[in-house]
Amino acid sequence: MEEFPLLERLLQKHQGRGFAVLSINIEPEDGASALELMRVNKYTFMALAVPDLAWRDRYGVRSAPANFLLDRAGRLVLQPTFDTAAARAVAEREIEALIVRR
């Protein structure tokens, strides 16, 4: 969940600019722990849960975390990775550029 602090900072920085963050828990049995993670860390973005495991196959999510940046029309614009500090820095610059450009 290395991306959560970064996404929270971007969300706070760009409030009112049409930027939103959604977290989708793809492990229905972990719902309580996911909500606790959100509460303890004071993340303000929306956390959703999939209704069943078939959802992963339907949307092609093979592992977690999977990250997608969509534009207002729902088109995939970027699929950033956050697995290293360098990748997080690149993702932050790319996301910032997309937000400013819109």
The domain defined by 3-101 carries CATH number 3.40.30.10: yes
pLDDT in tens, 12-31: 988 888 888 888 888 777 77
pLDDT at residue 40 above 90? yes
Number of neighbours of residue 34 by Cβ within 10 angstroms: 19
> Are the C-beta atoms of 96 and 102 separated by less than 8 Å?
no
Mean pLDDT, to the nearest integer, of 24-46?
Answer: 86
Please give the mean pLDDT across all residues of the chain: 83
Tokens of 45: 């973005």
Best CA proximity match to 81, nearest among 98, 96, 97, 64? 64
**Percentage of residues of the chain with pLDDT beyond 90:** 10
pLDDT in tens, 49-66: 877 778 777 777 777 777
Query: Domain locations in the chain?
Result: 3-101
Q: Taking the CA atoms of 91, 35, 75 and 20 in sequence, report the sign of the dihedral they define.
A: negative
